[in-house]
Amino acid sequence: MDKITLSAEGLTRRFGYRRVFDGLQFECSAGESLCIAGPNGSGKSTLLRIIAGLLAPTSGEVRLLVQGKPADEAVRRSLTRLVSPEANLYDELSGFENLGFLCSVSGRSCTRSEMGEVLDRVGLRDRGKDLFGAYSSGMKQRLKYAASLLSSPPVLLLDEPTANLDEVGKEMVYGVMLEQLKHGLLIFATNEEDELRFGGKFVQLG
């Protein structure tokens, strides 16, 4: 397991005059999980986007140390994967094609066999040739998890991990969360009480 530590210092975000959160501090390392808890509208998704490098904080900073050395913004983004109900893939591409595209843009070479394996793990083995646009909301969420499994990111960010999933899908996600802790760090945002048990450290918003 790589030595990876992610920390935030004085993290503040405002939208106009509205303060979403102010002065947040936290730290977690590979093998640990951080749960961002709070009601809807409390800023959980905003905080995840800042951690992922997709949104700048109003003040404060997020730092990622790899083997004790600071990683720049580009490296942090390359080592991080965000799975979110809002993030979308391409409707006009099949499940296999979406996974292949994500591999190519991340500079990886993924075989058809590797893609089939992760599709099997998320219960989409027989639907890999179907267009993403024809998937149900739950199937779309499963494919996003397949993409994260394929990349094995050192830092996995989950926004509402089990949104749009049935009980079988939820168990699949719980397995992904536990597996992540074997090789990296896990940060997830939820307001579901049942998911709080996966948190080792907590940031409470709202």
Q: What is the pLDDT along the chain (206 residues), one digit of tens a residue?
A: 578 999 999 999 999 999 999 999 999 999 999 999 999 999 999 999 999 999 999 999 999 999 989 998 888 888 899 998 877 799 999 999 999 998 887 777 889 999 999 999 899 989 999 999 999 999 999 999 998 888 888 999 999 999 889 999 999 999 999 999 998 999 999 999 889 999 999 999 98
Q: Within a domain: residue 132?
A: yes
- In the chain, the number of structural domains is 2
Which are the contacts of 179, defined by CB distance < 8 A and separation ≥ 6?
A: none
Q: Within a domain: residue 174?
A: no
- Do 66 and 94 fall within a single domain? no
Domain housing 205 = 1-79+155-165+181-206
Q: Within a domain: residue 175?
A: no
- Do 25 and 9 fall within a single domain? yes
Which are the contacts of 35, defined by CB distance < 8 A and separation ≥ 6?
A: 187, 188, 189, 190, 195, 196, 198, 199, 200, 201, 202, 203
Q: Within a domain: residue 173?
A: no
Say how many CA atoms lie within 13 Å of 106 toward its Cβ.
21
What pLDDT does residue 37 have? Answer: 96
Q: Within a domain: residue 172?
A: no
Q: Within a domain: residue 10?
A: yes
- Do 55 and 121 fall within a single domain? no
What pLDDT does residue 198 have? Answer: 95
In one-letter notation, the amino acid at residue 21 is F
- Do 9 and 75 fall within a single domain? yes
Q: Are strands 4-15 and 155-159 parallel, antiparallel or unpaired?
A: unpaired
- Do 126 and 71 fall within a single domain? no
pTM for the model stands at: 0.90
- Do 159 and 72 fall within a single domain? yes
Instruction: Supply the CATH number for residue 190's domain.
Output: 3.40.50.300
Cα–Cα distance for residue pair 14/50, rounded to 1 Å: 12
Which are the contacts of 172, defined by CB distance < 8 A and separation ≥ 6?
A: 121, 122, 123, 142, 145, 165
- Do 128 and 34 fall within a single domain? no
Q: Within a domain: residue 70?
A: yes
Return the beta strands (E) in the chain as ranges: 4-15, 18-29, 33-37, 59-66, 69-70, 80-83, 155-159, 185-190, 201-204
- Do 92 and 133 fall within a single domain? yes
What pLDDT does residue 104 have? Answer: 84
What pLDDT does residue 1 have? Answer: 58
